[in-house]
Amino acid sequence: MSDTHMPPLHEFLTDPSRAERLDPALVSLVETIADACRAIANHVRYAAFEGQSGAAGGTNVQGEEQKKLDVIADDEFARICSDVPRLAALVSEERDEITWLKEPEEGDYLVYYDPLDGSSNIDVDLSVGTIFSICQMAEGDRAEVLKSGIHQVCAGYAIYGPSTILVLTTGTGVNGFSCDDRSGDFRLTHADLTIPPTTSEFAINVSRYRHWDDAVRVYVDECLAGETGPRNRAFNMRWTASMVADVHRILIRGGVFLYPSDADNRDKGGKLRLLYEANPMALIAEQAGGKASTGLTRILEEVPQSHHQRISVILGSSEEVTRLEEYHQRQG
Ligand code: AHM
Ligand code: MG
């Protein structure tokens, strides 16, 4: 493919032939987030040389051990985004409080982000990423950040793997932009990403089997039964323990991702966070033709009660998500 078929991010976002006309302020915000992701990718890449490997020695507001790179990525993201004129607030997985940048006004933007998702993978040199979600403030919103996912105007992630890829939706389809390390440009390399409705691959942390609800157990048991089981075919399983990597694989070759609430995490609502992880990945999944559910309800319609709220997540190929919803309904 020649360069003419790989427009840089700015050209893609402002292309007059695209179905959607984006607010120039949103374009500038997305480009700034891309800058932040490029900077974080470099920190990840050079961590060993800069003494940035390992634990930071503290825990975040959710009681999880913070890696040095969690803290660095959070600071870098906030620093780079803090000068965007119409950005009212940053809501970070790593911060207890919301960071207000200005007096909020109608039309201003809110950014929710997980600066370094899958950070348990850093020290073993597996893929990690940054996840983000953007909402716009409506009339009379004032300091309201607890919006359900249907209000997202943009969602995306950057994966820091063998290459750095920014995957984005602004509400009409999903596209991926690889970072050319020689120029620093993000260029369209993965146009119109779609998740096929049918799959024979699932992703779940099977070590939690003993905690799962019957619906999830039955589903996985049936997949594992293979050709002679009720699904009449062999299923493959993958688990990276980095949601960005697991979702990225599903966007590239299909599959279903599960981090359900279970007997061990139900008191917290689940493991993954609604605003920083579930909502952006749910919008991406839906925009790619897939589905995203708690098992009983559509993730994007969940009304958040607090900004660090956790939730059950099942997303990916639509036939599998629908099947899992049926098993959950049957379970009651
Ligand atoms: P993090 O945001 O603290 O990195 O935690 C979220 C991660 C997800 O990326 C991943 O799907 C999950 O936690 C892995 O959990 P487990 O350690 O149970 O496999
Ligand atoms: Mg995370």
Q: Crossing angle of helices 68-81/24-45, nearest 10°?
A: 150
Beta bridge partners of 201: 236
pLDDT value for 4: 60
249 and 220 co-located in one domain:
yes
Atom 17 in ligand 1: residue holding the nearest Cα:
241
In this structure, are 183 and 207 located in the same domain? no
Can you tell me the ipTM of this complex?
Answer: 0.96
Write the CATH number for 227. Answer: 3.40.190.80
Does any ligand 1 atom lie closer than 6 A to the CB of residue 232?
no
Q: Are residues 218 and 324 in the same domain?
A: yes
Q: Is residue 77 part of a domain?
A: yes
In this prediction, residue 1 carries a pLDDT of 47
Q: What whole-number distance in Å separates Cα of residue 101 and Cα of residue 313?
A: 31
Is residue 60 in contact with ligand 1, taking CB distance under 6 Å?
no
Q: How many domains does the chain have?
A: 2
Cα 288 from chain centre: 13
Domain end among 169, 190, 211: 190
When the pLDDT of each residue in the chain is averaged and rounded to a whole number, the result is 94
Ligand 1 contact via 114 beta carbon (within 6 Å): yes
Predicted confidence (pLDDT) per residue in 47-98, tens digit:
888 888 777 777 777 777 778 899 999 999 999 999 999 999 999 999 999 9
The pLDDT-based confidence of 193 (bands split at 50, 70, 90) is: very high
- Whether 309 maps to a domain, the answer reads yes
Residue 332: which pLDDT band, with cuts at 50, 70 and 90?
confident
- Span 124-144, mean pLDDT? 89
| Residue 195 located in a structural domain | no
Distance 44 CA to ligand 1 centre (A): 17
Query: Is the C-beta atom of 59 inside 6 A of ligand 1?
Result: no
Please report whether residue 74 resides in a domain.
yes
Q: Is 259 exposed, middle or buried (0-12, 13-18, 19+ CB in 10 A)?
A: buried
Q: Are residues 132 and 256 in the same domain?
A: no
Taking only the tens place, the pLDDT of each residue in 254-288 is: 999 999 999 999 999 999 999 999 999 999 999 99
Assigned domain for 176 exists: yes
Residues 16, 159, single domain; the answer is yes
Residues 279, 146 share a domain? no
118 within ligand 1 shell (Cβ under 6 A)? yes
Cβ-in-10-Å burial (0-12, 13-18, 19+) of 328 comes to buried
Q: Domain check: are 42 and 140 in the same one?
A: yes
> Is residue 251's pLDDT more than 70?
yes
Claim to verify: residue 142 and residue 94 sit in the same structural domain: yes
pLDDT at residue 7 tops 80: yes
210 and 112, same structural domain?
A: no
**Same-domain check for residues 92 and 219:** no
Q: Whole domain around residue 308: which residue ranges? A: 201-331
- 94 touches ligand 1 (CB under 6 Å): no
pLDDT tops 60 at residue 2? no
Indicate which CATH number applies to the domain containing 68. 3.30.540.10
Nearest Cα to Cα of residue 310 among 284, 280, 276, 264 = 276
Last residue of a domain, one of 190, 223, 244: 190
Q: What average pLDDT does this structure show over 134-161?
A: 91
267 within some domain: yes
How far, in whole angstroms, is CA 261 from its chain's centroid? 18
* Residue 96 labeled ligand binder: no
Residue 168 amino acid letter: L
Distance 116 CA to ligand 2 centre (A): 7
pLDDT of residue 17: 87
| 183 and 210 share one domain | no
* Closest ligand 1 atom, residue 257 Cα: 11
52 lines ligand 1 (CB under 6 A): no
The mean per-residue pLDDT over the stretch 106-117 comes to 96
pLDDT by residue (tens digit) across 167-188? Answer: 999 999 999 999 999 999 999 9
Q: How far is CA 245 from CA 11, 116, 232, in A?
A: 27, 12, 28
318: Cβ below 6 Å to ligand 1? no
CA 19 → CA 12, 16, 147, 173, distances in Å? Answer: 12, 8, 25, 10
Q: What's the average model confidence in pLDDT over 189-207?
A: 98
CA of 68 to the centre of ligand 1 (A): 17
- Distance separating alpha carbons of residues 271 and 242, to the nearest angstrom: 13
Q: Is residue 196 in a domain?
A: no
Q: Please indicate if the annotation marks 133 as binding a ligand.
A: no
- If asked whether residues 21 and 128 sit together in one domain, one would say yes
Q: Determine what percent of the chain is predicted with pLDDT higher than 70.
A: 98
* Cα angle 82-106-96, degrees, rounded to a multiple of 5: 45
Question: What are the residues whose beta carbons fall under 8 Å from the beta carbon of 101, sequence distance 6 or more?
Answer: 82, 84, 87, 88, 89, 90
CA dist., res. 240 & res. 238, Å (int):
7
Ion ligand 2, residue ranges at CB < 5 A: 114, 117
Distance (Å) from CA 18 to ligand 2 centroid: 32
Last residue of a domain, one of 131, 159, 190: 190
Residue 213 CA to ligand 1 center (angstroms) comes to: 19
Apex CA 218: angle with CA 212 and CA 220, to 5°?
80
